[in-house]
Amino acid sequence: MQEHNLEHYNPPPDTGLSVIYADSCLLVLDKPSGLLSVPGRGEDKADCLISRAQKEYPDALTVHRLDMATSGLVVMGRGPAMQRALSIAFMERKVKKRYIAVVDGIVETNSGVIDLPLSIDWPNRPRQKVDLECGKQAITHYRVISRDTGRDLTRVELDPQTGRAHQLRMHMLHLDMGHPILGDDIYAPPEVLAKANRLLLHASRLVLRHPVTFEEMEFEAPAPF
């Protein structure tokens, strides 16, 4: 899902890692928008978060990913054992994630749950689609932070309970009459895409247990928009 619109991959300049936390077991970084989490196909797509991280932390290994356009918190394991332990925690949904997004239109309800199964739209990859028959379960809790009636925008907090590709983009697109995330170059109509110079989606909070001490750890990175 990372390779949409990569004909002209132009990653942000490497000004150094934004390290939220680091110890001998794990690394938590704040990924900028526009940077791949892992390499894409071809030498021109080798610059990515994991390659930048390994320059400073050679034992850093990928645990999970954010889409290229999404910014925010990414966890890496230091060494294969830590990578495996953290990957299992993500797969077993033991990691709590929170995102901030700005969507088009005014979301009327203050909070709620979106439960719409998703599957890949094969003829139009990497697009996803709502698929009530064969889709995989996808659940997102949402809460309105603020409404801007003048600009017809809503700022929301999103807590995905599952980790499907493009889940948050799709769920906001199908909430009520449709609230696409600003700057979404896959699903937003042109007039919504034009309202922002990037995808306004940011992974702002992660809560997980340390893979060795089992202490609950909470990490935050404020949205840059």
Q: How far apart are the first and last CA of the chain?
A: 23
Residue 173 DSSP SS3: helix
Per DSSP bridges, beta strands 19-22 and 26-31 are antiparallel
67 is catalytic: yes
Report CA-CA distances (Å) from 38 to 43, 53, 109, 141.
12, 11, 37, 28
Give dist(CA 24, CA 82) in Å, integer. Answer: 9
- Residue 213: CB atoms within 10 Å: 10
Name beta bridge partners: 216.
209
**Residue position matching structure tokens 């110890």:** 23
What DSSP line would sit under 96-113, residue for residue? EEEEEEEEES---SSEEE
Among 23, 30, 59, 67, the active-site one is 67
**Residue position matching structure tokens 């996808």:** 138
Q: Using the 8-state DSSP alphabet, how is residue 46 labeled?
A: -
**Residue position matching structure tokens 């918190």:** 73
Give the residue numbers annotated as catalytic, written as ranges. 67
